[in-house]
Amino acid sequence: MKKRGKGVGIIFYGTGYGNGFPDISKAEAELQDDGKVAIYVGATEVGQGAKTVMTQIAAEALGLKVEDIIFINEDTMVTPDSGTAAASRQSYNTGNAIKKAAEALKALIVDKAVDKMKLNTNIGLKVENGNVFVKTFPSRKISFKEIAEDYKENPLKVEEEFIAQTTEMDEETGQGAPYWPYTFSACGVEIEVDTETGIVEVIDGVLAQDVGKALNPKLVEGQMEGGFAMGMGYGIFENLNLKKGKMKNNSFTNYIIPTALDMPDIKNVIVEDPESTAPYGAKGIGEPVMIPVAPAILNAIHDAIGVRITETPVTPDKILKALK
């Protein structure tokens, strides 16, 4: 017989290193000969989309197009330390550092533009599409490229850093403000349990993810779907079968991760509530997207078969044993 059940999981997640550990990201912005801007950070693109959203932040802050940002993050020789690509911290931390660096470079460019256009103030100037111009008289303008010509030998370059707020907790009471910001998320699933085989199939899902502000909604959705799949694998598929320190399941032949056939077409809901300390309000989401999924599935299994399974992974043998 097949039995259906629904379950929910909700979570909060503190992003960043935490507990007072210095959480520092550095970023450099440099005006290029051709008027484009190079951003140097040591933040790794692991597939999460760091290069893209960080390019967007720089472009937004400088009034440039994405194509006008040269993003360099692959080499310790030329990039500053931006911390690790973990703790869902890169969009927030390095994003903030990039925004600061881009804004500082923009201010520098404006200063140089004031000199070069022989103006006596930077008030009433606007920066758009690689030009600095007088707002009320737009033909009085100068391009980033023209400004760069004066600095061919020694390009205009700024470095900025961002340090996230985190305090150490008390050793005896655990009291303190370990993480910031927190990201929230809720997941609902519908599952079907085959009581003959013990197989659990996730047939529907909805994931509502607080993001602060989505820097790139499509990339956020990609994280949400990927997180859902990984959470599902955690709850019901993946099993190293550890015996006396040995992983019996040590390849994709027996360590089963979800395939396309296992993954339902989930509904993604991006919930925005901008965070004031974040770059354009964006909080980290890389980890929270997977966290509520497995608990929602476990609750749905109980809803379906009336038995609560307290040990993961909920593989078919555990279901069959529970049903006896």
Partner 1 sequence: MKEINLTVNGKKHRIKIDENMRLIDLLREKLNLLGTKEGCGEGECGACSIIMDGEVVTSCLVMAFQAESADIITIEGLEKEDGTLHPIQQAFLDEGATQCGFCTPGMILSAKALLDKNPRPTRVEIKEGISGNLCRCTGYNKIVDAIEKAAILLEKGGN
Partner 2 sequence: MKKEEIKLKLNVVGKNIIRVDGLSKVTGRAVYPQDIYMDNMLYGKTLRSDKPHANIKVDISEGEKVEGVVKILTAKDVPGHNYHGVLFKDHEVLCETRVRRIGDPIAFIVAETEEAAEEAMDKINVEYEELDGVFDPIEAMKKGAPKVHEDGNIVYHYKIRKGNVEDAFKECDVIAETEYKTHMVEHAFLQPEAGIAYVDDDGMIIVVASTQYPHFDQLEVAEAMGIPTEKVRIINPAVGGAFGGREDITLQIHLAMAAKATGRPVKCTYSREESFVAHCKRHPMVMKCKTGADKNGKLLAMEAEIVGDTGAYASWAINVLRKAGVHITGPYEIPNVKVDSYAVYTNNPFAGAMRGFGATQVPIAHEQQMDILAEKLDMDPMTIRMKNMFKLGSETATGQILEESVPLDRCIQEVEKVMNFTQGKKGGERE
Residue 184 binding target from partner 2, partner 1, none, CB below 5 to 8 Å by type: partner 2
Residue 152 lies near partner 1 (rule: CB under 8 A): no
Nearest to 25 by CA among 73, 83, 75, 74: 83
Provide, rounded to whole angstroms, the least separation between the CB of residue 116 and partner 2. Answer: 25
Tell me how far apart the alpha carbons of residues 324 and 267 are, in angstroms, rounded to a whole number: 35
Residue 154 binding target from partner 1, partner 2, none, CB below 5 to 8 Å by type: none
Q: Name which position in 49, 80, 212, 295 contacts partner 1 (CB under 8 A).
A: 49
28, 190, 221, 287: the catalytic one is 287
Provide, rounded to whole angstroms, the least separation between the CB of residue 180 and partner 1. Answer: 27
Kindly tell me which of 104 and 199 has the beta carbon lying closer to partner 1: 199
Provide, rounded to whole angstroms, the least separation between the CB of residue 189 and partner 1. Answer: 13
Q: Verify whether residue 103 is a known catalytic residue.
A: no
Provide, rounded to whole angstroms, the least separation between the CB of residue 90 and partner 1. Answer: 14
Provide, rounded to whole angstroms, the least separation between the CB of residue 153 and partner 1. Answer: 35
Q: Burial level of 123, CB count in 10 A (0-12/13-18/19+)?
A: exposed
Q: Are 25 and 96 in contact (CB under 8 A)?
A: yes
Task: Identify residues 264-323 at the interface with partner 1 (CB under 8 A).
Answer: 265-266
Q: How many residues bind partner 1 (CB under 8 A)?
A: 26
Angle at 202 between CA 196 and CA 203, to 5 degrees: 105
Instruction: Please list, in sequence order, all residues whose beta carbon lies within 8 angstroms of the beta carbon of residue 189, skipping any fewer than 6 positions away.
Output: 6, 7, 8, 202, 204, 205, 206, 293, 296, 297, 300
Residue 222 lies near partner 1 (rule: CB under 8 A): yes
Task: Identify residues 5-44 at the interface with partner 1 (CB under 8 A).
Answer: none
| Token representation of residue 60 | 């937004």
Secondary structure (DSSP) of 275-286: -TTSGGGPPP-T
Instruction: Please list, in sequence order, all residues whose beta carbon lies within 8 angstroms of the beta carbon of residue 312, skipping any fewer than 6 positions away.
Output: 234, 235, 294, 298
- The DSSP bridge partners found for residue 193 are 3, 200
Provide, rounded to whole angstroms, the least separation between the CB of residue 36 and partner 2. Answer: 14
Instruction: Please list, in sequence order, all residues whose beta carbon lies within 8 angstroms of the beta carbon of residue 209, skipping any fewer than 6 positions away.
Output: 183, 185, 220, 224, 268, 269, 270, 271, 285, 288, 289
Residue 265 binding target from partner 2, partner 1, none, CB below 5 to 8 Å by type: partner 1
Q: Name which position in 92, 162, 228, 237 contacts partner 1 (CB under 8 A).
A: 228
Task: Identify residues 202-221 at the interface with partner 1 (CB under 8 A).
Answer: 218-219, 221
| Token representation of residue 258 | 């979800």
Q: What are residue 177's phi and psi, to 5 degrees?
A: -115, 80
Kindly tell me which of 47 and 306 has the beta carbon lying closer to partner 1: 47
- The interface region with partner 1, picked from 75-83, 141-149, 176-184, 222-230 by CB under 8 A, is 222-230
* Per-position x/- string for 229-268, each x denoting binding to partner 1 as judged by CB under 8 A, each - no binding: xx--------------------xxx---xxxxx-x-xx--
Q: Which residues bind partner 1 (CB under 8 A)?
A: 46-49, 218-219, 221-222, 224-230, 251-253, 257-261, 263, 265-266
| Active-site amino acid positions | 287
